Amino acid sequence: MSSVNPSIAGQRVTFTATVTAGGVTPSGRVTFMSGAQTLGTVELRGGVARLSTADLPAGAHAIKAFYLRNGNFDGSDGTLRQRVRRVNDQFGVASLPASGAR
């Protein structure tokens, strides 16, 4: 889950991964990635991992969360699509001619 999608380049976005295991709350860590770039690894708290970042450049991103195998729990993963707009896209600003140009 993403806190805001689409987001604006430079805007803080929080990704949330929930790990369940048949009524048992697993422990361990989740690694969040954007393509081949590791965004970070965080500990599960109550079966939930959250990672915040403001470092995603404009474009489409496949954000993947990997639950790392831990004791009695197998590893798993999930993916979401995050769209990040350029700052100007937020306001719908078009390119304007240089001052004095006609």
For the stretch 7-44, pLDDT in tens is 999 999 999 999 988 888 888 999 999 999 999 999 99
Terminal-residue alpha carbon distance, the chain = 47
Domain that holds residue 67: 7-89
Dihedral (CA of 46, 24, 73, 66) sign: negative
Rounded distance between C-alpha atoms, residue 45 and residue 26, angstroms: 9
Residue 97 reports pLDDT greater than 60: no
Within a domain: 96: no
Asked if pLDDT for residue 77 goes beyond 70, the answer is: yes
Model confidence band, residue 91 (pLDDT cutoffs 50, 70, 90): low
| Within-domain flag for 101 | no
When pLDDT is averaged across residues 66-71 and rounded to a whole number, the result is 85
Query: Which CATH number do you get for residue 57?
Result: 2.60.40.10
